Amino acid sequence: MIRVLIVLVGLVLLPGTAFAEGRCPAGQYPIGGQGAGGCAPIPSSGGADSRGAVPTGKWETRWGAISEDPTTLATGASVSMKSKRQAIAAATAECERLGGKACKTRLTYYNQCAAIADATAQSLKGGTGTSIAAHAETEDQAKNLALAQCGSAQGGQKCSIVYSACSMSEFRSFR
């Protein structure tokens, strides 16, 4: 009889030990009170889980540049370069390769897009013949901006896009 009583008492107390963390699932403990309860993870004592999120890579900036010789109108461009200096050097080299003698940097940009708008041949009769370079977040925005600025510079004459490209940031994985 005493043996049966001990077993019954043991069975009554045993389920209470299985719910030592209260109303929360395994690996969590109860937080809050006054009717606003919740659960939080039990902190680990080190190891991989205690570090939190680990970065898998990083975003790297990419540069672009446009160089032009104003006398010969030779134009060189570069995209997706790792530095501003590389972008300028590549654009200038391209400008010189195309016959430019006094190539100068016209535009540099990073993590964006660029466009050049020129007046059309028919429009040059009354305009200045100046091309416009612009940069913006997207290629469409850069084109629209270049066209709008070119139209204003040409006194409302028609312009067209002669160049556009993007140098967007690139993700480099650590793995």
Residue 153: what pLDDT? 82
* Residue numbers of the domain that contains 162: 59-172
Query: Is residue 102 a part of any domain in this protein?
Result: yes
Residue 123: what pLDDT? 43
Query: Is residue 43 a part of any domain in this protein?
Result: no
Query: Is residue 17 a part of any domain in this protein?
Result: no
Burial 35-48 (b: 16+ CB within 10 A, else e): eeeebeeeeeeeee
Query: Is residue 52 a part of any domain in this protein?
Result: no
CB neighbour list of residue 174: distance below 8 Å, 6 or more residues apart? 55, 56, 57, 58
Query: Is residue 54 a part of any domain in this protein?
Result: no
What CA dihedral angle connects 22, 27, 32 and 36, to 10 degrees? -70
Query: Is residue 85 a part of any domain in this protein?
Result: yes
User: How many C-beta atoms surround the C-beta of residue 19 within 10 A?
Assistant: 9
Residue-by-residue pLDDT tens, the chain, 175 positions: 777 667 666 666 655 554 444 668 887 878 877 667 788 888 765 555 555 678 889 999 999 999 999 898 899 999 999 999 999 999 999 999 999 999 999 999 999 999 999 987 544 444 445 789 999 999 999 999 999 999 888 777 789 999 999 999 999 998 8
What SS3 class is residue 79?
Answer: strand
pLDDT cut 70: percent of the chain above it:
77
Residue 125: what pLDDT? 45
Query: Is residue 33 a part of any domain in this protein?
Result: no
Query: Is residue 42 a part of any domain in this protein?
Result: no
Q: Would you say the pTM of this structure is higher than 0.85?
A: no
User: How many C-beta atoms surround the C-beta of residue 89 within 10 A?
Assistant: 16
State how many domains the chain has. Answer: 1
pLDDT per residue over 36-58, tens digit each? Answer: 778 888 876 555 555 567 888 99
